[in-house]
A and B are shown apart, each in its own frame.
Chain A
Amino acid sequence: MEAEAAKYIGAGIACFGMAGAAIGVANIFGNFLSGALRNPSAAPSQFSNLIFGFAVTEALGIFSFLVALILLFVV
């Protein structure tokens, strides 16, 4: 198989990593929502933790996108 074709196939496979990140992010927001619906007065104080948890989880999805970009444009 030529290197060019292998790069494109590898980039496509690398995108599967984003599925895990998507589930993780949805987990965080879902738990925040269920907690906020039980205790609405405590929700605003946890908003910063929500945004922080979202960002560090999304980072892993971005890492997999980065692997795909590296395969396409750098290798």
Chain B
Amino acid sequence: MAGTDPIHQFVIEDMFPLFTLGGDGTAGSGLSFAFTNSALFMVATVAIIGLYLILSTGSKSVIPGRAQLLSELVYGFVANMVRSAAGTAGMTFFPLVFSLFTFIFVANMLGMVPYFFTVTSHIIVTFALSMLVFLTVIIYGFAKNGPKFLKLFVPAGVPGYILPIVAPIEFISFMSRPISLSVRLFGNILAGHITLKVFTGFIVTMGSLGFLGILGSALPLIMAVALTGLEFLVGAVQAYVFAVLTCMYLNDAIHPSH
């Protein structure tokens, strides 16, 4: 039953080695960098997004054709999201939010194709994305506001005697942002793919039980179809939620007071 084990789909395999840092030349020593299947699908995601945006808007027609219309719709959607959550000052971060949204969205959709690897199903990938956002918020917050950025932990209108309780709580909830941001995306995608693999494994297991088994395997098949639809929805929603939360955290950096 090696093929139907639900964890095997997440294994990262080296496709070809690139270089090794340190070590003494023997196999397994030093830090080896290789081009993995995860890297392949990250490159594919960026290539799809970049090529689509460039090719569809190449003609720059005033009345957009269908392809250009889709690009304009995505642009307008993300621009709306940034403006409503972070205001017009937030539009400096529009490229970051647009890149995050489209990357996570296309990576999740690519992962739904059979035999393709899902990039966001690894905590290191989602953690890298969320640390990118978190460090951007901290660095920009201190660069733009100086020490006044710490007003974030002192909500307006809080009486002085409650402050020693409220400020640490606010600080802890601020520090938990990168963790919750990364684990939310990672957990949703991982759980969905594992569940999907388990149900499709049931189809195969029931189908191997003879004629009645094949009839009975219609039930996990229906469930697998429903779960596939749900996975598409979850992938899209998680990309949107990641982008919206990014906008809200950037709003905290630009205007640091609750």
Interface residues of A (CB under 8 A from B): 48, 51-52, 54-56, 58-59, 62-63, 65-66, 69, 73
Contact = CB atoms under 8 A, between A and B. Distances in A.
Contact of B237 (A55, A66, A73): A55
A69 B183 contact: no
B187 A62 contact: yes
A69 B190 contact: yes
B180 A69 contact: no
Contacts of B183: 59, 62-63, 66
A29 to B, nearest CB: 14
B7 A66 contact: no
Contacts of B131: none
B124 interface: no
Given A55-B184, A56-B184, A73-B7, A62 B191 contact: yes
B interface, size bucket = 10 to 19
Contacts of A55: 184, 237-238, 240-241
Contacts of B191: 62, 65-66, 69
Interface of B: 7, 180, 183-184, 186-188, 190-191, 194, 237-238, 240-241, 244-245
Contacts of A69: 190-191, 194
Grouping DSSP codes into helix (H, G, I), strand (E, B) and loop, the A interface class, with mixed when no group exceeds half, is helix
Contacts of B245: 56
B29 to A, nearest CB: 26
Contacts of B241: 51-52, 55-56
Contacts of B244: 48, 52
B190 A59 contact: no
A57 to B, nearest CB: 10
Given A66-B191, A69-B190, A69-B191, A59 B240 contact: no
A35 B171 CA distance: 34
A58 B233 CA distance: 14
Nearest to A67: B187
Nearest to A73: B7
Contact of A62 (B7, B184, B240): B184
Contacts of B186: 66
Contacts of A51: 237, 240-241
